[in-house]
Amino acid sequence: MEASAGLSRIGLAGLAVMGQNLALNIAEKGFPISVYNRTTSKVDETIERAKSEGDLPLTGHYSPRDFVLSLQKPRSVIILVKAGTPVDQTISTLSEYMEEGDTIIDGGNEWYENTERRIWETEQKGILYLGMGVSGGEEGARNGPSMMPGGSLTAYKNIEEIVKKVAAQVEDGPCVTYIGEGGSGNFVKMVHNGIEYGDMQLISEAYDVLKNVGGLSNEELARIFDEWNKGELESFLVEITADIFKVKDDLSEGELVDKILDKTGMKGTGKWTVQQAAELSVAAPTIAASLDCRYLSGLKEERENAEAILKEAGMVDQVGPVRSGIDKKRLIDDVRQALYASKICSYAQGMNLLRAKSNEKGWGLDLGEMARIWKGGCIIRAVFLDRIKQAYRRNPQLASLVVDPEFAKEMVQRQAAWRRVVGLAVQAGISTPGMCASLAYFDTYRRARLPANLVQAQRDLFGAHTYERIDRPGAFHTEWTKLARQSNFK
């Protein structure tokens, strides 16, 4: 692509903090960029930041026409606005001044079917389209995110040199790759966020057990998570968890974490992940449990009332008696192992969902490559993602991470500790739905014979749904009630 004098290599519309930071990252990597926002003060703010952060090659524009016309052809424009209608409005506004062969890249958390609709709509105007998931938050956008672009391959080629330099860099390359056609990029980002839900829930359960069963202080928890971050659990989320425990409250005594209201917000990607898992008949109990916990956390007043009512009804706190017999050192190590094993199950569920959707849509997703681009920049970045990448490199058709030979050994080695933690939590009346869901998933998946035979017999009895037999082929139906009445059982 030839540079045109005075024209920018790429444009970005939507200058909230994520948009500003990504624009500055692009400029810092040596690509002249034009920026635009409907609120002109955001444009001025971004220009000032570009000057103060190294006199970066960034120009601001105050009308969509001037913005689009400031770009080299074929033009490429990233939009970072709120998902839904604002994206459609921005596309409509900008495409008025764009030409055949130009590209629009939506960098927001968008529902993948909206992206597929927009691909078709922009195609009618000759405009190329990408839906690009961007993970890493504000810091990642500025210093190197993980990016998941899907849609037009030609559109990706137009920006490939940019995104490869802007993305987080790890030892085996930049944390970006062309995901596939259609809404694949947004779908992969959605599942990434679902795994993130599971990760955060599992970490919170580890915290709950260590604090309430183990009686650990925030200072001790900070040291433990710092130590864990040097081993198999090394990850962004474990690292920031250690940092959170260290922050003092500047408005009162103690640490800030203890003053935060126990209600968790959400933006929808976790719900979408669970919905898609259900539609594709993919078991994702850890991710679903994390979503349920966010719903329950929102019922703060109801939970406070329930605690009072059940206490009056005779509910006795079991944490004290359980804590009195605890070997603290062993508990800490058990929780570490339980957290690791649970995380493997959560990632296995997410990867299986990606495979199922890829098969349905014909995207041809490379699961090993998905793990690779999540190794840096993104919220779920973790050292063991490299081992997930290697597992899928060894066997691209791997049915589940649970049966990869290396992960299988680790699961078996950790299961005793895992069961002890879940058992202690149940005994103490502390909910660990993520760990319990992961353990139940593992136990169900590893059993060659399940009690589903009884469920199918029940379905056949009341609905004549038929059943298969283990000793001969075919579909069978039995008059269960009639035969039961004739039996000799008393």
Binding residues for substrate: 109, 135-137, 192-193, 197, 267, 294, 459, 465
Residue 227 to residue 234: CA distance in whole angstroms: 9
Here the tokens at position 112 are: 């993948």
Q: Please choose, from the candidates 120, 122, 78, the residue with its C-alpha nearest in 3D space to the C-alpha of residue 101.
A: 122
How far, in Å, are 294, 331, 346, 431, 433 from residue 419 at the CA level?
24, 12, 17, 14, 13
Q: List, as one string, the DSSP characters of 84-101.
A: SHHHHHHHHHHHTT--TT
Q: Please choose, from the candidates 63, 78, 61, the residue with its C-alpha nearest in 3D space to the C-alpha of residue 6.
A: 61
Among residues 29, 189, 343, 389, which one is catalytic?
189
Q: Among this protein's residues, is 189 annotated catalytic?
A: yes
Binding-site residue set: 14-19, 37-39, 81-83, 109, 135-137, 192-193, 197, 267, 294, 459, 465
Among residues 110, 196, 205, 255, which one is catalytic?
196
Q: List, as one string, the DSSP characters of 126-147.
A: T-EEEEEEEESHHHHHHH--EE
Q: Please choose, from the candidates 323, 307, 316, 340, the residue with its C-alpha nearest in 3D space to the C-alpha of residue 210.
A: 323
Phi, psi of 104 (to 5 degrees): -115, 135
Residue 417 to residue 433: CA distance in whole angstroms: 17
Residue 479 to residue 13: CA distance in whole angstroms: 66
Binding-site residue set for NADP(+): 14-19, 37-39, 81-83, 109
Q: Among this protein's residues, is 482 annotated catalytic?
A: no
- Positions marked catalytic: 189, 196
